[in-house]
Amino acid sequence: MGIELLKQEHYRIFDQTSLGNAFHATQSFAMDDTLCASVATEGAAIRSWVHHETVVLGIQDARLPHLDQGIDVLHAHGFQPVIRNSGGLAVVLDAGVLNVSLVLPERGGIDIDSGYEAMLALVRRMFAEETDAIVAGEVVGSYCPGSYDLSIAGKKFAGISQRRVRGGVAVQIYLCVNGSGSARAQLVRDFYAAALQGETTKFVYPTVVPETMASLEELLQLPLTVESCLLRVYRSLMELGATLTPSVLSEIENERFGVNLGRMLDRNEKVLGE
């Protein structure tokens, strides 16, 4: 079912990988909600983006007993926190991490696993010439662990999530393209150590083991860039018969984006005061 979901006739392309530091993660989550709401009439979309020195926190992270001290650790390393509008846990984003959203209409219904399998199929196609060893399954010791962690030889390089809004589903992935996967994991480990301070909580936060994570460049032992990986995304979709059109938001979508961004900013103001 995963590969069949990828076979859309047409994708609108929203490439936001080169917007720089001015492009804030709250805008990304507002964008995906906006595209979900219009995908039934406007058609499927692929959105790509990069955020610099950002740690995206989940709803459970916002309930950490010493969240302020954890945020101090992030700031000390030059990172800014953002609270997402969905589940999941802390994820590190920087210039070496490519994020991709596959936004599809829920015509006839798309079950949760099918959405995950579609993104898994896309990533496997992207790197089919280099490896057949990409595995989906929880990597214990990684940050933001889940059943659709992607790994090679036991080391996680990507995580997949989903967001469903008004007839659309955004299947989102972060790909650690280059840089040190273990250094990113060390940052998250330090964050949780400061935010928990040894306290027992109802929710069990991950015990992060930096050695369980790596970048694709480290795993495949070849030079990779965000730009080259994005080209692999486009090439894989075109090989499945899709046409790709660079796009911008319509007037109606821009209005929705403003509303969605306002909600994200309110959420972050309440939790982070920023």
Indicate which CATH number applies to the domain containing 230.
3.30.930.10
By DSSP bridging, strand 97-105 and strand 168-176 are antiparallel
pLDDT above 60 (res 1): no
Which helix (H) or strand (E) covers residue 159, if one does?
A: strand 155-165
pLDDT of 273 reads 80
pLDDT interval class at 88 (50, 70, 90): confident
Catalytic-role residue among 36, 144, 176, 229: 144
- Could you tell me the maximum CA-CA distance found in the chain, to the nearest angstrom? 53
Number of domains within the chain: 1
Q: Are strands 54-57 and 80-83 parallel, antiparallel or unpaired?
A: parallel
The yes-or-no answer on residue 144 being catalytic is yes
Average pLDDT of the residues in 244-262: 97
Distance from C-alpha of 137 to C-alpha of 206, rounded to nearest angstrom? 15
Q: Is the pLDDT of residue 242 over 60?
A: yes
Residues spanned by the domain of 118 = 2-272
266 Cβ contact list (under 8 Å, min separation 6): none
Alpha helices in 158-250 (DSSP H): 181-196, 216-220, 226-239
Give the ranges where 110-180 is alpha helix by DSSP (H): 112-126
Helix (H, G, I), strand (E, B) or coil at 90: coil
Q: How confident is the model at residue 110 (pLDDT cuts 50, 70, 90)?
A: confident
pTM equals 0.95
Residue 3 pLDDT > 90: no
φ/ψ (deg, to 5) at 100? -135, 135
